[in-house]
Amino acid sequence: MRSIRSCSRAYTNSERGFALIAAIVLAVLYVALIELLLLDSARELSEARRFRARVVAATLAENGAELAAAALVSNPSADVNTTDEQGSISGMMRKTDETHFRITGDGTTSGLIRTSAHVDLQGRIEGTSIKIEYAVHTP
């Protein structure tokens, strides 16, 4: 009978080795692909952490400058130093004369990645309006 001969084990002995090798090669390729995906996701996670730390540090520095500027009209100088769960904030405001001022703010993040930022503002007071003439934000 022709259909019984096609199921004979005599014809499949030479194909067993090929199937085993193909399965091992596919498993190795699959593991290598998973390892590449893990490496790529770890790299992207560290980039996201660094980006977040830079944004938080810049925000802390701006907050320090804003807190120091709160007393701009009434006081000739002001210093602010505080810490919260995001990091540390410091700000300094100095009037160089009756109409000109300089405000600086510094922020340092806390957490896995420590990053610092600095804000420097210079300007003048004209009556009741405040004009910023020079601003520098440095990471």
pLDDT per residue over 41-98, tens digit each?
Answer: 999 999 999 999 999 999 999 999 988 888 776 777 888 899 989 999 999 998 888 8
Q: What residues form DSSP beta bridges with 95?
A: 101
Domain architecture of the chain: domains with CATH: 9-138 (3.30.1300)
Hey, what are 5's tokens?
A: 């001969």
Q: Kind and range of the H or E element at 83?
A: strand 77-83
Mean pLDDT, the chain, whole residue set: 86
Q: Rounded to whole angstroms, how far apart are CA atoms 108 and 119?
A: 12
